[in-house]
Amino acid sequence: MIHSLFLINHSGDIFLEKHWKSVVSRSVCDYFFEARENAGSPENVPPVLQTPHHYLISIYRDRLFFLSAVQTEVPPLFVIEFLHRVAEMFQDYFGECSEVVIKDNVVIVYELLEEMLDNGFPLATESNVLKEMIRPPTILRSVVNTLTGGSYIGETLPMGQLSTIPWRRSGVKYTNNEAYFDVIEEIDAILDKSGTTVFAEIQGVIEACIKLSGMPDLTLSFMNPRLLDDVSFHPCVRFKRWESERVLSFIPPDGNFTLMTYHVSTQNLVAIPVYVKQSIGFFESGSCGRLDLTVGPKQTMGKTVEGMMITIHMPTAVLSANLTATQGSHTYNPITKVLVWDVGKLNPQKLPNLRGSLSLQSGAPKPEENPSLNINLKIQQLAISGIKVNRLDMYGEKYKPFKGVKYVTKAGRFQVRT
Amino acid sequence: MTDSKYFTTTKKGEIFELKAELNSDKKEKKKEAVKKVIASMTVGKDVSALFPDVVNCMQTDNLELKKLVYLYLMNYAKSQPDMAIMAVNTFVKDCEDPNPLIRALAVRTMGCIRVDKITEYLCEPLRKCLKDEDPYVRKTAAVCVAKLHDINAQLVEDQGFLDTLKDLISDSNPMVVANAVAALSEIAESHPNSNLLDLNPQSINKLLTALNECTEWGQIFILDCLANYTPRDDRESQSICERVTPRLSHANSAVVLSAVKVLMKFMEMLPKDLDYYGTLLKKLAPPLVTLLSAEPELQYVALRNINLIVQKRPEILKHEMKVFFVKYNDPIYVKLEKLDIMIRLASQANIAQVLAELKEYATEVDVDFVRKAVRAIGRCAIKVEQSAERCVSTLLDLIQTKVNYVVQEAIVVIKDIFRKYPNKYESVIATLCENLDSLDEPEARAAMIWIVGEYAERIDNADELLESFLEGFHDESTQVQLQLLTAIVKLFLKKPTETQELVQQVLSLATQDSDNPDLRDRGYIYWRLLSTDPVAAKEVVLAEKPLISEETDLIEPTLLEELICHIGTLASVYHKPPSAFVEGSRGVQHKRLPVRTGSGESAESPDTSSAAGISEAPPAVIPSQGDLLGDLLNLDLTPPTTTGPLPPASGLQMGAMDLLGGGLDSLLGGDMGGSPALGAGFGAPPAVAPASLSAPVGGGLGDLFDLGGGVGLPMGFYIPPKTVWLPAMKAKGLEISGTFGRRAGVIQMEMTLTNKAMSVMTDFAIQFNRNSFGLAPAGPLQVLTPLNPNQTIEVSLPLNTVGPVMKMEPLNNLQVAVKNNIDVFYFSCQYPINMLFVEDGKMERQVFLATWKDIPNENESQFQIKDCHLNSDAASNKLQGSNVFTIAKRTVDSQDMLYQSMKLTNGIWVLAEMRVQAGNPNYTISLKCRAPEVSQCVFQCYEAVLKN
């Protein structure tokens, strides 16, 4: 199973190591550094590497590498999933996942890692359970602790680990009982230069924030559950009920968690909320080019598109851009060759436009590659797939909770080719 | 106030300061100090000097402090074993604590301290904890058994912990079950044949119940364990599938992939016409697609596995082509995998879409990716015949872009398209020729030259084109040189009148001015061919070529089956069986998909299916003569790939010179004497080859057959399958596996050397220690070329028996030293004694009788061979292959008595009487020998020969 973990920062320093079995020398990371060198950018480092005595399985997240060494045949997805879980736990505990914050809380980090794995086997990875054993630092608590000599470690046995519902701690009590659900959909799409959809799908996720006392048993139903192609649930969801009745029935964990993720695939028609009219061209001579972009709303179901932003990776020969926008701001970074146009809110009456000239390195040949456009956007109060929550019922407790559902649609990996 | 302050103290007196603080009376100060120590430890500073002071802090009721001290102990106990003993008492006490959290923590920590002395004290607390009333303690203890096994396997077995662990599989708490499975799986990995996870329908049912209730990680362990089970029939298989299917909706991708593995494997047993089979196929697609929307690292592993799945069952994802379309900001490793899968899914129905995409990719920034995309277009053309024309025109469009590497890559794939569809797309040749000058990569140049040579008759200026290449002949790479030579010869055969000068020029360049043996040999072959029989030359050089097909890049079916059983593991990422890369792979069992058995025939099915579960390592394959000849011919046929050396032209005689025709004389000019190495005429090698490639020997003894009952040919000499003698981890990356055999009276030690290190290995040599039969290498170890990383070579070392003699224990033990440029490695192996049986080991009947009587009875030993289902004739045949000769056969009361003799290389005779009762699978063998020590070894070889 998982033997050792090394945390490596952007400049290639190992700033934390943890071994769950015998100690593996950190020189094993040299193979990784070699691969890192060969890969060019950090995103391109292959996640599974073989060395004479170990396998190195790594993830790259928040500008940090989480590198684990394993010695036996272990499912790599198991390791990768676990590493992401570690990163999420740091995020959850410290609000961010960065070298500084990990160093600031190194003892908690160490205790967490010790609690998460035993002999390389995952032990407790549920945030609810961990928080019962190791309390996250808060300003208040660290002040109190320094004054009283109190500790971060819980004195009780995490009961959740033993019950059949390990995700919920017992004895939860709130004065205001609330249950909120965020239905977030991301559109992954590729449009070709004429604007036709090459590929589009929707990745949906329902994030829940549940603050309910006792042991509530919830049932959530949809108006149109057939829309969902593939679903994956938090372990709390009773799969049988979903199979037979298409409702989500569950005893929720306390606090924030991801209730389900779903997928609406290419087989169904996916509405594309915006269109981009673009022309980017370079002249055969004169070392310059032209850029003209117009964006406008398409299928938005009457909602407003906000946070519109277009990112373009220009060919390396492009030195600078002299552009004017009718709306929003734009910047061109001549080092990373990234042009960003922050459009903001889309006004259907007055379509935003960005146009102007691009100047190339003198003497450079006309670039061959066509830069792709990456699009970000946000539409509030709309789930683009059309999914709608019908009702939420609560059983097992007497009080009346406050309930709420919010919808938002975003662009995921949304690209327009030119 | 944050922990980062602990990092800042780097002053000299740091350790002293900490020491003082650790011994402070104030609780808070103590804790702060321990924290500082831990922080230093995490960043790799050596704080082991503080061991006694930290251990002193252990006796506390503060849980946090206790945990911190435990953390420290786990890290440093190894380097301070004597000190660590001081902690034992506290551990033992904590294991009795009323708080289960503390009990579990103590047993967990104790298991992490890898010190023998501490381990001894661990046994009793562990035994108690395994039976603890609290499941939290039990599940922790289960993992602890695995830890202990890693430190001291013998101890775990002696103490009976394995049995307790097996009992935990039936525990009432699902988490305990999952951890027990995990621990057993880990232990089983180092004991491949121990049958620890003995799965039967009852235990399977327990596991499936636990599967629903345990954590995501536990589900992975259970699913991976389930995948090793072979259901009895299709009904059981279906019911397992039904219970595993809900796991496909899990949020954890590792759970999903492990479930996919179980389903892919068990599906094999379902009848294809079953409704459920179709339902299951449909259910598999969405979760696989969803895996592709996860983080790129997860995507990569998923894609590698999907690559296997689409090869095994293309129908699952045939409608999902679009999800494999590449996004420009995918990491390169994801892009390349997606591309590969797109080609595998390409069909007539979706080819238009695929081509449009590929063309798009060909204008991307990343050069590697662009090349792969261009190549992919070629693969599409070869795979989907209807699309070939479209592909060719797409490639032509790309050539028009004049982007150098795109053009070169396009030419390489167009050559392959010509190989698949000869005489169909020649119209494009003109366009290709325009780009001749821009080609600077050997592969592209070679491809272009091949095209020119192949279609020389349709290219007006083919001779000029080829001549232009010839100018810089010596600067070209071998690949181009070989291709150029062949192309010019083709040209000469097609247009003999105008190109005589050119062909002479290239032949002399290849044969006289080149140091490259491949090139020279090929040159000579052509030269001889052209000069002796131009008609034959035409037939050989311009022969019709076999068409290429897309199968070339598919994974070989048996390997694919094995890999399907390993979905989700590292093997599936590398597309290699685990035995090829897992260290100490001695025990890795080859897995196979189960064979479909209907429920009706379940009576016999357990036998067949369990037999299918275990497959033997394939014996070393001796290339049949056809292959080698094929290779020889292929020199002409497969354009750039063949660079391997020609087999030695064994038919070469000096007299062959006489055969040289006049034409060659004039070509050679006065230089006749300068080329004695000239190969034999092309006609000769086929005639000679069969003799030089001695097929497996053993059959040459057929004439010794004079027994009435013997039918059929004697079997070949029994050679046991190769076993790993020297695992890579013991020899700095060199792995040696091998076996012994006897060929034409010569003992052969056959070895497979594998370089699993990162550097090249050279200078191999071998030596034996003195041994019972004086075995010694008859020559040096023939490893001529350096062994590159990940390369494997087969070596056969002839042995003689004239070396120094010393009796070994066991008798057939052989100690070997192997040296290479890195180090000297030692290993010992046991050889089967039958390789010492000489061919003239057949005794006269009379002598046999006399000798049998003569040898005293106390020298007789009797053995039983169980479960051998051969009849006496077949057995006698088999044994004869290994030089055990049957002298007489007698049948008394339906019991066959075979009298046999064999002779060892050192002249010791062994006489045997074998009794075979019809219908009884147990043989009785009595051995008589003047040196009774050998009897045991001889019996072993009887058993090995008869059972294989």
**Percent of chain B residues topping a pLDDT of 90:** 8
Mind listing the pLDDT tens digit for each residue in B188-200?
877 766 667 778 8
> CB distance A265–B289 less than 8 Å?
yes
Q: What are the φ and ψ backbone dihedral angles of A243, each rounded to 5 degrees?
A: -60, -45
Q: Which residues on neighbouring strands pair with residue B924, listed in sequence order?
A: B864, B915
Residues from chain B that touch A130, judged by Cβ atoms under 8 A, are none
Alpha-carbon span B111 to A20, nearest angstrom? 11
Contact between B250 and A235 using a beta-carbon 8 Å cutoff: yes
Q: How far is CA B873 from CA B253, B702, B837, in A?
A: 58, 14, 20
What is the Cα–Cα distance from B799 to B815, expressed in whole angstroms? 14
Percent of chain B topping pLDDT 70: 83
Mutate to test the interface with A, among B34, B42, B581 (most CBs of A within 10 A): B42
Beta strands in A334-401 (DSSP E): 338-344, 353-360, 373-380, 389-395
Confidence class for position B550, pLDDT limits 50, 70, 90: low
Contact A80 B297 (CB under 8 A): yes
Tokens of B278: 């179709």
In this structure, are residues B929 and B854 in contact, taking their beta carbons and an 8 Å threshold?
Answer: no
Q: Reduced to 3 states, what is the DSSP secondary structure of residue A59?
A: strand
CA–CA distance, A17 with A77 (Å, rounded to integer): 21
* Structure confidence at residue B373 (pLDDT): 92
Q: DSSP string spanning B737-801?
A: EEEEEEETTEEEEEEEEEE-SSS-B---EEEE--BTT--EESS-----S-B-TT-EEEEEEEEES
Cα A310 from Cα A331, distance rounded (Å): 11
Chain B neighbours among A 298-327 (CB < 8 Å)?
313, 315
- pLDDT, tens only, B35-87: 888 878 776 677 888 888 888 777 777 777 888 888 888 778 777 777 777 77
Whole-angstrom distance, CA of residue B489 vs CA of residue B634: 15
- Using a CB-CB distance cutoff of 8 angstroms, which residues of chain A are in contact with residue B63? 151, 153-155
Which tens digits make up the pLDDT trace of B920-943?
778 888 888 888 888 888 888 888
**Do B38 and A106 lie within an 8 Å CB cutoff?**
yes
Question: Residue B862's closest CA among B767, B755, B938?
Answer: B938
**Any bridge partners for residue A414, and if so which?**
A189
Report chain A residues whose CB lies below 8 A from the CB of B757.
52
How high is the pLDDT of residue B2?
53
Question: Which of B1, B151, B217, B758 to mutate against chain A (most A CBs within 10 Å)?
Answer: B217
Question: Residue A406: its pLDDT value, please?
Answer: 93
Q: How many whole angstroms separate alpha carbon A208 and alpha carbon A256?
A: 6
Q: What is the pTM of this model?
A: 0.68
Contact B474, B516 (CB under 8 A): no
Residues from chain B contacting residue A80 (CB–CB below 8 Å): 254, 295, 297-298, 301
Q: Do A105 and B3 touch (CB under 8 A)?
A: yes
Token pair 């929550």: residue? A389
pLDDT at position B875 is 81
A182: helix, strand or coil: strand
CA-nearest of B756, B716, B718, B715 to B737 is B756
- Measured CA to CA, the distance from residue A64 to residue B148 in angstroms comes to 34
**Chain A residues 24-83 with CB within 8 Å of chain B:** 26, 39, 43-44, 46-48, 50-53, 55, 58-61, 71-78, 80-82
Closest Cα partner for B869 from B922, B924, B942, B915?
B922
Name the one residue in this structure whose structure tokens are 């596995």: B305
Q: How many CB atoms lie within 10 A of CB B841?
A: 17
Q: Who among A46, A71, A107 is closest to B38 (CB)?
A: A107
Rounded distance between C-alpha atoms, residue B107 and residue B101, angstroms: 10
Torsion-angle region of B719 (φ positive above 0: left; ψ -120 to 50: alpha; else: beta)? beta
Which is higher by pLDDT, A341 or B604? A341
SS3 A298: coil
User: Is there a contact between A166 and A126 (Cβ–Cβ < 8 Å)?
Assistant: yes
User: What is this model's ipTM?
Assistant: 0.82
B885: exposed, middle or buried (Cβ count in 10 Å: 0-12, 13-18, 19+): buried
What b/e string do you get for B138-168 counting C-beta neighbours within 10 Å, with b at 16 or more?
Answer: bbbbbbbbbbbbbbbeebbeebebbebbeeb
The answer to whether B728 and B707 are in contact (CB under 8 A) is no
Residue B713 structure tokens: 């040919």
Here the tokens at position B370 are 């662009």
Q: Please report the sign of the dihedral spanned by the C-alpha atoms of residue B393, residue B397, residue B399, residue B400.
A: positive
**What confidence tens digit (pLDDT) does each residue in B355-371 have?**
988 988 888 878 888 99
Q: What distance in Å separates residue A175's CA from the closest CA in chain B?
A: 31
Helix (H) or strand (E) holding B242: helix B234-244
Say whether pLDDT at B306 is over 90: yes
Using pLDDT thresholds of 50, 70 and 90, give the confidence band for residue A285: confident
String of b and e for B483-512 (b: at least 16 CB within 10 Å)? bbbbbbbbbbbbeeeebeebbbebbbbbbe
Name residue A318's beta-bridge partners.
Answer: A360
Contacts of B947 (CB under 8 A, 6+ apart): B865, B867, B868
Is B858 exposed, middle or buried, given 0-12, 13-18 or 19+ CB atoms closer than 10 A?
exposed
Among A111-125, B583-597, B599-613, B909-923, the minimum mean pLDDT is found in: B599-613
Instruction: Give the number of other Cβ atoms within 10 Å of residue B600's Cβ.
Output: 9
| Substitution target from A60, A121, A146, A197 for chain B, most B beta carbons within 10 A | A121
Which of A126, A155, A198 is facing B63, going by the closest CB pair? A155
Please say if the pLDDT value at position B337 is more than 60: yes
Q: Residue A199: its pLDDT value, please?
A: 85
Q: Do A369 and B582 touch (CB under 8 A)?
A: no
The DSSP element (H or E) to which B213 belongs, if any, is: helix B201-213
Residue environment code for B178-201, b if the CB has 16+ CB neighbours within 10 A, otherwise e = bbbbbbbbbbbbeeeeeebbebee
Whether A283 and chain B come into contact, CB under 8 Å, resolves to no
Structure-token pair, residue A17: 């190591």
Distance CA A70, CA A87 (A): 18
At A407, the pLDDT band (50, 70, 90 cuts) reads very high
Shortest CA gap B298–chain A (Å)? 6
Rounded to a whole number of angstroms, the distance from the CA of B34 to the nearest CA of chain A is: 10
Confidence of residue A318 (pLDDT cuts 50, 70, 90): confident
Q: Average pLDDT of A323-334?
A: 90
Chain B residues lying within 8 Å of A95, measured CB to CB = none
* Phi, psi angle pair for B365, to nearest 5°: -85, -40
Q: For residue B947, what pLDDT is reported?
A: 77
Structure-block tokens of residue A104:
């600031």
State whether A166 and B215 contact (CB < 8 Å). yes
Output the pLDDT for position B581.
63
Element (H, E) at B156: helix B153-158
pLDDT score of B704 more than 70: no
Interior angle at CA B735, CA B734 and CA B736, nearest 5? 120
Neighbours of B521 (CB within 10 A): 21
Contact A328, A298 (CB under 8 A): no
| Token representation of residue B631 | 């290779």
Cα angle B512-B515-B521, degrees, rounded to a multiple of 5:
70
Q: Which helix (H) or strand (E) holds A62?
A: none
| pLDDT for A142 | 52
**Among B493-502, B575-584, B703-712, which is the least confidently predicted range?**
B703-712
Q: Which two tokens stand for residue B294?
A: 């996860």
Strand ordering across the sheet containing B885-892: B860-865, B923-929, B909-917, B895-903, B885-892
Please check whether residue B42 is in contact with residue B68, taking contact to mean a CB–CB distance below 8 angstroms.
no
> A21 contacts in B (CB within 8 Å)?
112, 147, 150
Show which of residues 215-274 on chain A sit within 8 Å of chain B, judged by CB atoms.
229-235, 239-240, 242-243, 258, 260-261, 263, 265-267
Cβ contact (<8 Å) for A107 and B68?
yes
Average confidence score pLDDT of chain B: 78
Strands A255-264 and A197-211: antiparallel
A320's tokens: 């600078």
Average pLDDT for B484-500: 87
The alpha carbon of residue A380 is apart from the nearest alpha carbon of chain B, in Å, by 23
Q: How confident is the model at residue B877 (pLDDT cuts 50, 70, 90)?
A: confident
**Residue type present at position A249:** S
Measured CA to CA, the distance from residue A228 to residue A237 in angstroms comes to 16
Burial of A408 (0-12, 13-18, 19+ CB in 10 A): middle
